[in-house]
Amino acid sequence: QKEVEQNSGPLSVPEGAIASLNCTYSDRGSQSFFWYRQYSGKSPELIMFIYSNGDKEDGRFTAQLNKASQYVSLLIRDSQPSDSATYLCAGLDTGRRALTFGSGTRLQVQP
């Protein structure tokens, strides 16, 4: 079974610090990965996607993909209390055209 695994947290960081969220996956065939942010009671919101090995930056967010080690990470620079949410990592099952989600990591940014 294709799996995506995340540490459930909570991960607590002070305001202004870098938050590092990690995810591992079991399917070597997975090519595309996505990070979603979900506030309590709301639906998931896409933050970033990454297809290629290396880093991809978008504002305060950097996604990293290492296909050899089968891990994906999301760095949030200058963390703000408004970043406090659950972050879901997902991999695309290309054959089924469906996303498999990790269990999510709860991030708490302390003012």
Partner 1 sequence: DTEVTQTPKHLVMGMTNKKSLKCEQHMGHRAMYWYKQKAKKPPELMFVYSYEKLSINESVPSRFSPECPNSSLLNLHLHALQPEDSALYLCASMPGTGELFFGEGSRLTVL
Whole-number Cα distances in Å, 57 to 96, 102, 110, 111: 28, 22, 24, 25
Shortest Å, Cβ 82 to partner 1 = 19
Closer to partner 1 by Cβ: residue 18 or 46: 46
Shortest Å, Cβ 50 to partner 1 = 11
Closer to partner 1 by Cβ: residue 96 or 111: 96
In whole angstroms, what is the distance from residue 74 CA to residue 89 CA? 9
**Pairing status of strand 11-14 against strand 105-110:** parallel
The footprint of partner 1 (CB under 8 A) covers 32, 34, 42-46, 49, 88, 90, 92, 94, 96-104
Closer to partner 1 by Cβ: residue 43 or 69: 43
In whole angstroms, what is the distance from residue 63 CA to residue 100 CA? 18
Closer to partner 1 by Cβ: residue 17 or 31: 31
Q: What does the block give as tokens for 65?
A: 């993909």
Q: What does the block give as tokens for 111?
A: 């003012």
Shortest Å, Cβ 16 to partner 1 = 28
Instruction: Report CA 50 to chain centroid distance, whole Å.
Output: 10
Shortest Å, Cβ 49 to partner 1 = 5
